[in-house]
Structure formats: structure tokens, C-alpha cells
């Protein structure tokens, strides 16, 4: 409906054809190579069988038993099928061995740091201020790749809204990934309220931070499952959050009880004016 409303059927149709061609291209080349191989094998087997027949016919009488010659010709008829089967199995092994190579490649990937370090657990209320202190930060995505962040040093005061601007590829997303330790720095350190994030477990770090993805997400499920996906809070605590962020008059228009609102699906919550309750 949206495509037709903006009169974009032709553009999306052409894009769909291009994507379909791109998806089918590897299969087409695979089938073409297989047919070419089968043709070459059939030709080679036919020539071999023909030369064998000419050799048997040209032999002088009495040199070979006719029964043995007939048996050899009979077995030679299966040469084409057997040869094609052997070559085809070898080709399949060569293709499937890539999966084994990938397994060995994954085995050589360094493991992530532990989720929890019992000897270096932050306080229960950490972080309290939210101050982020970055000192001489250097980050690269692989040992053979150049540095993406080179000696970044700055302080983000706690309790303030700070924006990072820059062109595409300037390292904004890399800085966020480093903050969550999705990418570990090769130099420098990041301190949050005085705690070096490289000295604590991944779960202790990531469970205390929040992020809003760049891509919009259409949430599914109930309101409660989206507000508390891990089931760490009861209905009353979630209800207090709803009342704090939504006007009380709208809350009571949406539902007559706490449980009724929290267990409604996110795509079925409207107010009296037909507007959605967005998360």
C-alpha cells in the first residue's frame, strides 16, 4: 500500500529483479560448472570405451578368450557412471571442506573476557554520576588493520547530555562499541565514575549501561515484556514508571487496571484519540 501510494512500483520491481539476479547468479554458475564437468567426463569415458573396443576388435584371433572380452566390454559400460560418481564426490568434498575450515577459523578467534569477575565487581549502585573519562584511547578492529581511534582523550561530565558529531567513518559508532567493550581497545583506558571498564566483567558493565539503536525497531509482544524483558521487576514497579512518563489522564484512558495495560500487546494500545502508546 505504501509503495503504491508513492508510485514506486517500478523502482521496487527493478530492485527486486536485481536482487533476484544477484541471488541466483552463484547457483547459475554452479549448475553451469557441473554440466560442463559432466560433459567432459562423458566425453572422456566415451572415448576411452571406444578405444578399448577398437583394441579388442583389432586383436588377432585366439589371443584373448571371447568370453573375457565380452565381460570386459560389459563392465566398461559402467565406466561412465563410476567415473562421474568418483569425480562428483571429490568435488563435493572440496566444497564441503570449507565448513571445516570455518570451524577451525572460529576456533582460533579469541574468546570474550569473562562475564563476571568476582574479585573486581563494581558497587551495587555503580555508576552513580555517569562521568565518562577517556584517556589516550586507541582502537582497531583487527591486528592487521589501522587504528580507527587514535589517542582520544576527553571527559563526559555526569548528568549532562553530550553529543558526538562527525562525518561517516569518523569513529562515532566505534567509540560506543568500545564503551560496551564490543571492541577492546589496544591502548588507553575508559573510566566510568573512576572504574576502569577493562577490569570488570562484561555482564557487570553492559547491564549498567543502556543504548538506543540507530535503526528504528517495531516492538512485538506485550508492554510488560518490552519494558522488563528479563523479568527483574514486579507489576507495581513497572506501573510507577508508566505513570511517571505518561500523563495520568492518558493512562486511565488506556486501561482500567495495571495488569490489563501491562499485558496488552504494543500494537493494540490506543488512547481515545486513536494515537498509539509508543515505547
Task: Name the residue ranges covered by the structural domains of the chain.
Answer: 1-107, 132-257
- Assign 245 a pLDDT band (cuts: 50, 70, 90): low
Average pLDDT estimate for 24-44: 86
Residues shown for the chain: 279
Distance CA 248, CA 127 (A): 31
Give the highest mean pLDDT range of 31-35, 102-106, 111-115, 228-232.
Answer: 102-106
Give the highest mean pLDDT range of 109-113, 194-198, 255-259.
Answer: 194-198
Average pLDDT estimate for 68-91: 80
Residue 271: the pLDDT is 45
Residue 248: the pLDDT is 55
CATH class, 132-257 region: alpha beta
* 181-216: pLDDT as tens digits: 999 899 999 999 989 999 999 989 998 888 887 776
Q: What are the residues whose beta carbons fall under 8 Å from the beta carbon of 202, sequence distance 6 or more? A: 112, 113, 114, 115, 181
Residue from 213, 225, 238 nearest 265 by CA: 225
* 140-186: pLDDT as tens digits: 988 888 999 998 999 999 888 888 888 888 888 899 999 999 998 99
Amino acid at each position: 500500500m505504501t509503495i503504491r501510494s508513492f508510485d514506486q512500483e517500478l523502482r521496487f520491481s527493478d530492485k527486486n529483479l536485481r536482487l533476484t539476479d544477484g541471488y541466483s547468479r552463484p547457483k547459475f554458475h554452479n549448475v553451469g560448472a557441473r554440466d560442463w564437468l559432466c560433459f567432459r567426463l562423458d566425453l572422456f569415458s566415451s572415448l576411452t570405451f571406444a578405444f578399448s573396443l577398437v583394441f579388442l576388435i583389432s586383436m588377432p584371433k585366439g589371443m584373448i578368450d571371447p568370453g573375457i572380452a565380452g565381460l570386459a566390454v560389459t563392465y566398461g559400460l559402467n565406466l561412465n557412471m563410476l567415473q562421474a560418481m568418483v569425480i562428483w564426490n571429490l568435488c563435493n568434498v572440496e566444497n564441503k571442506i570449507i565448513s571445516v575450515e570455518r570451524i577451525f577459523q572460529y576456533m582460533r578467534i579469541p574468546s570474550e573476557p569473562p562475564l563476571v569477575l568476582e574479585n573486581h565487581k563494581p558497587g551495587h549502585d555503580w555508576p552513580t554520576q555517569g562521568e565518562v573519562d577517556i584517556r589516550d584511547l586507541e582502537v582497531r578492529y583487527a591486528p592487521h588493520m589501522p587504528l580507527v581511534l587514535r589517542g582520544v582523550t576527553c571527559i563526559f561530565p555526569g548528568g549532562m547530555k553530550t553529543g558526538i558529531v562527525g562525518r561517516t567513518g569518523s569513529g562515532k559508532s566505534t567509540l560506543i562499541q568500545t564503551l560496551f567493550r564490543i571492541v577492546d581497545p589496544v591502548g588507553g583506558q575508559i573510566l566510568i565514575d573512576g572504574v576502569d571498564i577493562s577490569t570488570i566483567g562484561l555482564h557487570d558493565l553492559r547491564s549498567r549501561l543502556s543504548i538506543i539503536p540507530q535503526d528504528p525497531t517495531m516492538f512485538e509482544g506485550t508492554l510488560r515484556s518490552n519494558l522488563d524483558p528479563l523479568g527483574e521487576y514486579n507489576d507495581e514497579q513497572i506501573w510507577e514508571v508508566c505513570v511517571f512518563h505518561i500523563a495520568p489522564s492518558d493512562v486511565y484512558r488506556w486501561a482500567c487496571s495495571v495488569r490489563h495495560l501491562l499485558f496488552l500487546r504494543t500494537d493494540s494500545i490506543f488512547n481515545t484519540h486513536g494515537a498509539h502508546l509508543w515505547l
